[in-house]
Structure 1
């Protein structure tokens, strides 16, 4: 007697119940897996992209905005700061390294960041091909940029002004690709890295064209030299102690803003976690409901088919075999639901992320660690087995002779 066959037969006899059980279970699995994956990706983004950045110094404004713009390259910067002022800060003995970054342009929506060669060290980014930037108007591409736009070493392109792709405000100066970085799974993959001079030159030429008067030309160039600006400074300290006093000093005694990326992003993570938590609770609630549905469905089957089961018993089926039959059915439903849920998560999240990515060129999704999936799978299976076991109670208590004599 093949118990699997009987279980599958049972499932076929009540397609609606089975379908409902699978759908509700799959829904809760989708939500739980989805939330876990988003939470994991979000945390991972924050941790990997912070690299060694202890402090960000930029123009006064919202500290979170400054951090998002300078570290995760998500928001618009709060403004510009004077490069000479910033350089003074870098001379502080407690500072280990300072990396200036300057924004302002993009190519096809990917940001162009003017900075120094230390920028790549923050992300431990290495060259895949080519060389580092040596002079103005040379760029090195992050792996994602090169792949998405299909640009190779030696290609040239024109940047557009601002951080959003546009064809209205295109600069006249060509940028040449001299190198491409290896993928790092960090934010640098999505950036076009150049030196500070490139950013200044592009904008300086624009101003020169605007001036368009030769006698002003020389004088104008002088002032441009003096008033070079950058977007922000990424600072690393020699010891964490400096974190306590240094930012306060800057915020109080200069017209710049010092923000702690770890603190700001942690705060952001806390905010979003509240939402994640709520959805998790809803998902667990649905999970309980789906187990209830499975329980009712199996219990009904056991009740309705008490006679058949009793007959099977008289034919020598042991209690254990009958129990297995009902359990198999539960496990089969759980397995189908899990497969469906897993599929939905993959499709759903990729679709959502593709949608986000096409808007802002970001690939934030991290693979969920296998043990997380296993963990959830185990939980679902346990709950289903528990529901099925409860439904089996009548079988175990079954008195064959009374059932058979009643039915006749």
Structure 2
């Protein structure tokens, strides 16, 4: 007696019941997998993309915006800060590493970040090919940038002003690719890195033109006025950066440095893990609500499977009794019912996994800031196994409760009543 074949025929015999069971169960699986994947993606953004950044110092404004712009590179900066002021802060004995970054340009949607060679150490990024930036107008590419844009060492690019791809404000200075980083699965994979001088020189062109016009306009002024103009000109020549990324030597830095910067300077200091933790706390309320809805749908699905299976066992009592007379044991009949439930769960899980992948990728592609900024992380096998085990356990309990009539089956009574 082939139990598998009988189970498959039973499923085919009631296609509507089978379809509804698979659909309802797959709906709860979609929600469970989707919520778990979103949580995993958010946690990965915090853990991986922050690297070794303990503090971000930038212009006054929203602390969260400063973190999203300078650490995750998914927002616009709050403004610029004076480079000399930032260097003074970096000399604090409690600071282990202070890396300045300056940006405002992009190439085909990928951000160009001016910084120092210490920036890659924040993410433990290593070169795959080429060498570090040694002079102005040299760049190294994140692995994702190099692959998506098909760039190689020796190629040259022209950057565009702003953080969104455009063909209007294109700079005339060419940037030459001198290195490509190994993949890290972090935000640095999606960045184009150069030195601070490249950013400053690219944007100094317009300033020089304005300075020449101002010089011509004030040629007739007296020496005293010329002296004041010279001092103002030197002040405008002070270099600025977008933000300073800080790593502390010890936990004492968390307690003192941010408070002093926010209180006594015109800059602000934001703690990435604290700010993103608050964001996660707010968004987690919605995620938890959807999770409970998913569990409720799963419970309803299991209840439906229990009622349907129990009804099926009662309705097919005569057929089951006939199978017993032909030598089938109670255990074989129970296995047949469990096989039917197992196949329903299996197909529902496959359908749920496929629809989750399609739905999340579609949603992310619609709401992501740029088509290069991918925040969705794939679920690892252990996560899938955990959710699958939970769903199978719930369905197993439902079927276990529904097979009670088989255990207490009285063959002679059933056959006599049928006659």
TM-score by length of 2: 0.93
Aligned to 1:14: 14
Secondary structure of 1:359's partner?
coil
Match runs of 1:253-402 below 5 Å: 253-356=264-367, 359-402=370-413
Aligned to 2:221: none
Instruction: Decide whether the 8 Å contact of 1:123 with 1:188 is kept in 2.
Output: yes
CA distance in 2, matches of 1:216, 1:55: 45
Question: How far is the alpha carbon of 1:16 from its aligned partner?
Answer: 0.3
CA distance in 2, matches of 1:221, 1:160: 29
Aligned to 2:117: 117
Aligned to 1:66: 66
Structural RMSD (CA): 1.9
Question: How far is the alpha carbon of 1:223 from its aligned partner?
Answer: 2.6
Deviations 1:58-82 (A, max 9, x none): 0001111111111111111111101
CA distance in 2, matches of 1:398, 1:248: 75
Instruction: Decide whether the 8 Å contact of 2:120 with 2:126 is kept in 1.
Output: yes
Deviations 1:356-397 (A, max 9, x none): 558341222323222221111111111111111222111222
Instruction: Count matched residues.
Output: 408
CA distance in 1, matches of 2:367, 2:143: 19
Farther-moved stretch of structure 1 (6-15 vs 286-295): 286-295
Question: How far is the alpha carbon of 1:224 from its aligned partner?
Answer: 6.8
CA distance in 1, matches of 2:235, 2:147: 36
In structure 1, runs of 5+ residues without a counterpart are: none
Deviations 1:186-225 (A, max 9, x none): 1100111111111111110122234554946996996377
Aligned to 1:159: 159
Instruction: Decide whether the 8 Å contact of 2:82 with 2:238 is kept in 1.
Output: yes
Aligned to 1:142: 142
Aligned to 1:105: 105
Aligned to 2:195: 195
Match runs of 1:23-102 below 5 Å: 23-102=23-102
Secondary structure of 2:391's partner?
helix
In structure 2, runs of 5+ residues without a counterpart are: 218-228
Deviations 1:1-57 (A, max 9, x none): 111111111101100000010111111111111211121121011111111111111
Instruction: Decide whether the 8 Å contact of 2:365 with 2:371 is kept in 1.
Output: no
Aligned to 2:224: none
TM-score by length of 1: 0.95
CA distance in 1, matches of 2:67, 2:318: 69
Aligned to 1:407: 418
CA distance in 2, matches of 1:261, 1:115: 19
